[in-house]
Structure 1
């Protein structure tokens, strides 16, 4: 059964990014539709299951938008205005709705990386 998940690690503090806000969007041509916005739990993951489950997975283009600067400010990190990294959008495609798509993010106020996880 297909599903979409994410996990965010705060590489500045060496811990999960608990409390970071994430928005899932569906991209169709030039239209972008927000599907849901949520706050990551103590493990830097979503509560209540995957972002998309077997019933809601569909082939297409998607975007996850991670509120990185807001998260680090909430942790007391002094950031310039504007911050070097504010929001991190990750655009990706789902080709197989029966597949498992995991989109992890490793983030600090100055850098980030992602990959297709397992």
Structure 2
């Protein structure tokens, strides 16, 4: 029997506040900054589930100190719903300074505004 994979220490939850529902099937990517080359390296590319969540972003071992960004593909999401959007994408950049920790980054989204914060 295989052991269950450890849950991602980084989670997100995208909510469509315009319609009061989770943002389903939104593409997003996780990147880490190479501080020597000053280039972003793609770590993973995922899609939100029926609850607007993306549970498997990164393994605990890979989530080490450094600068990261979550890029949310908001333009294509709104286009699929038949709307345009002021923001073609949203990038949330954050720094991890300590060893293993749990970080939750919600994104509250409408066509013309967004809000995010470090949750728990």
Aligned partner of residue 75 in structure 2, secondary structure: helix
Give the aligned partner of residue 60 of structure 1: 66
Aligned partner of residue 7 in structure 1, secondary structure: strand
Total equivalences in the alignment: 112
Cα distance in 2 for partners of 1:97, 1:52 equals 14
Cα distance in 1 for partners of 2:56, 2:97 equals 17
RMSD, aligned CA: 1.5
Give ranges in structure 1 of 5+ residues lacking alignment. none
Which structure features the higher share of strand residues?
A: 1
Q: Deviations over 1:6-49 (max 9, x none)?
A: 11000111100000000100012321101111110000011xx4
Give ranges in structure 2 of 5+ residues lacking alignment. 1-5
Q: Deviations over 1:75-110 (max 9, x none)?
A: 122x2xxx4211000000111231111111001110
Equivalent residues of 1:9, 1:105 under 8 A apart: yes
Q: 1:17 aligns with which of 15, 23, 28?
A: 23
Cα distance in 2 for partners of 1:101, 1:4 equals 5
Q: 1:100 aligns with which of 99, 102, 111?
A: 102
